[in-house]
Amino acid sequence: MQKQAIFQSKLLPYALVAPQLAIVLIFFYWPALQALIQSFLLQDAFGLSSSFVWFDNYLELFRERAYFEAIVRTFFFSFAIAVSSLSFALLLAVMADKPLRGSLLYRTLLIWPYAVAPPVVGVLWIFMLHPSLGVLSRYLRALGIDWNPLLDGDQAAALIILAAAWKQISYNFLFFLAGLQSIPRSVLEAAAIDGARPMRRFWTVTFPLLSPTIFFLLVVNIVYAFFDTFGIIDTMTRGGPGKSTETLVYKVYSDGLLGGNLGSSAAQSVILMIMVIVLTGIQFRFVERKVTY
Amino acid sequence: MANVTLRNVRKTYTGGFEAIKGVNVDVGDGQFCVLVGPSGCGKSTLLRMVAGLETVTGGEIDIGGRVVNQIEPADRDIAMVFQNYALYPHMSVYNNMAYGLRNRGMAEAEIKTRVEEAARVLELSAMLERKPRQLSGGQRQRVAMGRAIVRQPKVFLFDEPLSNLDAKLRIAMRVEIRKLQRRLNTTSIYVTHDQLEAMTLADILVVMNGGQVEQVGNPLAIYEKPATTFVASFIGAPPMNLMSTRPEEIRSQLAGSAAADAGILGIRPEDFVITDETPAGGVALPLTVEAIERVGAETFVYGSRQQEDQRVAATPGELPPGEVIVRIPGTEAPAIGAKIRVAAVQSKLHLFSGDGRKRIEA
């Protein structure tokens, strides 16, 4: 059955959607269009004039070794953040799903980190792991690790991955817990009677039944790692040391706003936009299919 | 093949709620035992305790001569059919049935033989590659049965397996289950709240109420000699008419010493006949016809007694005090408002103590 509202005036429906449309147009399409236009322009050194250069900004970008490094780095970060936060969240959710005393408190506390803004997360972890101020750094040194993320690029990367994954655990935990609770108890009981031990039960019944949740979260986490880690990177390492924590999004910011190369920065944003469209497309197609197992 | 023996089995939840208050049942090898009772009587809990899905807080559960209280469900050598079937939604019908065998490390060739044999018996051969969501309710039910039989366990446990099916399919599956159990000759425990299912399936019927066993025995023996008013009104549909023996109208008709101790008289609707005579030692009641229900082969007459009756101890399907159901064959019935007289012979009278907890033999 198709539901169709009848409006007296033909203009009324348009008037009603206008505020929403205005927001989308002003805050999404206008900047996107600006970025697209900007990406075809080259500015002079003083920013006084600009000339139309077709795809030069893009071609320049693809010739740049640093850009490829940033792509590889971003994919590595995304993968590391998604895998670590997903697996840890799943572990916590499986634990929290057991009938425990005070499980409500436990669950509530696990959800809290999600409410913390990314820059605050960055500051928080800096306080704990700063080479000279950090509480945890002392213990790491005591263990004989030469801990200095301000100088060591790999350690800085590890720090970013840790902080970004930590923040995303809550979100994943929430979805995993809901996913686990939607698995009928009797199916797991049937598996227990069928002779499957807890580990085997998890891998042959629980995990496959969670696969739609896992896929959904994987896409969400990749998008998160691509775009929302900006605040964490900016407060913790500012892309450094060197360029060891400069992801694609951070590079857009540093090339454009710090380096003043607006054309290249805009071209990079357009490429990022295409990536996010592809990711969302995959997710939508998947969500529409609903049942997958 | 195994006996199942429950010895003073108890279940008390941490909050202090006593769900099972000391149950003793002995199910012989190859017998079909049905646990029946109203919802919340603890029958499913008891079954889950036998399966190992609930802990036992008192007494012993013995399967095939081995006390299984502390043994994992997987190691009890039982198979269970769940109310909602509990099929693995991500596995094909074949894999649903093979799962339990694979977990036990059986060779693939042997698994294939067993699954195909079960599928043939249950008429599932054509749908082995389908997923549970592509099956109808009855087919899912059969897959759940198949999953149980391929394992060739010592005991089958059924937790209201037919309650999600429509009425027609339920009757067909009921017969199927009985035939299958007879052929495999596997000890079975079956939980239901449907007294008709209970009567037709059981070798041994266990009537439960409030965590306790009210009566254990052969279904017909229970029907003929219910031990309490609860059993009397739960087994048999429509329920047995129960009335206080205190009014003079009834007291005067009950002769003998046994009748003197009785507080409650029970007469099944089918044991009444409409007649003006009073059989020797029997009971006759004058009634005013209030309602008639014709179902084809038989007719139910709802009558009210001239005298207001007191409420007596019973719960399931309870009739308002003073109302009597009479079941007569055919479709001929007295008119509504007519004054009739119904009578039952002495051998069809059931006498119970005043609290309904004890049967008194005349």
> What proportion of chain A, given as a percentage, has pLDDT over 70?
93
pLDDT for A73 beyond 90? no
The pair of structure tokens assigned to B355 is 């609290």
The tens digit of pLDDT for each residue in A166-193 reads 888 888 988 998 899 888 889 999 999 9
pLDDT of residue B215: 93
Chain A positions touching B88 (Cβ under 8 A) are 187, 190-191, 205
The verdict on A290 touching B (C-beta cutoff 8 Å) is no
Mind telling me how many Å the CA of B103 is from chain A's nearest CA? 6
Q: How many CB pairs under 8 A join A and B?
A: 62
Place of tokens 């010493």: B257
Place of tokens 């263990």: A143
Segments of chain B with pLDDT less than 70: 1, 255-259, 307-319, 362
The pair of structure tokens assigned to A275 is 């990536």
Which 8-state DSSP code applies to residue B348? G
Calculate the alpha carbon distances from B188 to A76, A289, B125, B205 in Å: 57, 41, 25, 12
Identify the helix (H) or strand (E) that includes residue B305. Answer: strand B298-305
Mind telling me how many Å the CA of A200 is from chain B's nearest CA? 9
Q: Are B122 and B93 in contact (CB under 8 A)?
A: no
Burial (CB < 10 A; 0-12, 13-18, 19+), residue B300, is middle
Q: Which residues of A126-139 are buried (b: 16+ CB within 10 A; e: fewer)?
A: beebbbeebeebee
Place of tokens 């197992």: A293
* pTM of model > 0.90: no
The pair of structure tokens assigned to B19 is 């769900």
- Distance separating alpha carbons of residues A108 and A95, to the nearest angstrom: 14
Which 8-state DSSP code applies to residue A255? I
- Distance separating alpha carbons of residues A248 and A70, to the nearest angstrom: 6
In the CATH hierarchy, which top-level class contains the domain B4-224? Answer: alpha beta
The verdict on A34 touching B (C-beta cutoff 8 Å) is no
Place of tokens 């009855």: B138
Q: Do B103 and A192 count as a contact with CB atoms less than 8 A apart? A: no
Q: Do B79 and A208 count as a contact with CB atoms less than 8 A apart? A: no
The pair of structure tokens assigned to A11 is 């203009």
Give A86's pLDDT tier (boundaries 50, 70, 90). very high
A41: which residues sit within 8 A by CB, 6+ positions away? A50, A51, A52, A53, A57, A262, A263, A266
Mind telling me how many Å the CA of A105 is from chain B's nearest CA? 20
pLDDT of residue A213: 86
Calculate the alpha carbon distances from B144 to B33, B97, B174 in Å: 19, 8, 14
How confident is the model over A68-79, as a mean pLDDT? Answer: 87
Give a three-class secondary structure readout of B161-204.
Answer: CCCCCCHHHHHHHHHHHHHHHHHHCCEEEEEECCHHHHHHHCCE
Dihedrals phi, psi of B266, to nearest 5 degrees? -120, 135
What's the full length of chain A, in residues?
A: 293
Nearest-by-Cβ selection for B51 from A191, A193, A291: A193
Full set of structural domains in chain A with CATH: 73-289 (1.10.3720.10)
The tens digit of pLDDT for each residue in B311-358 reads 666 666 566 777 889 999 888 888 888 888 999 988 888 988 888 888
pLDDT of residue A5: 66
What are the sequence ranges of the domains in chain B?
4-224, 238-360
What's the full length of chain B, in residues?
A: 362
Dihedrals phi, psi of A9, to nearest 5 degrees? -105, 145
The pair of structure tokens assigned to A61 is 């970008």
pLDDT of residue A1: 46
Mind telling me how many Å the CA of B270 is from chain A's nearest CA? 41
In the CATH hierarchy, which top-level class contains the domain B238-360? Answer: mainly beta
The tens digit of pLDDT for each residue in A61-72 reads 778 888 888 888
Q: Are B274 and B339 in contact (CB under 8 A)?
A: no
Identify the helix (H) or strand (E) that includes residue A43. Answer: strand A41-43
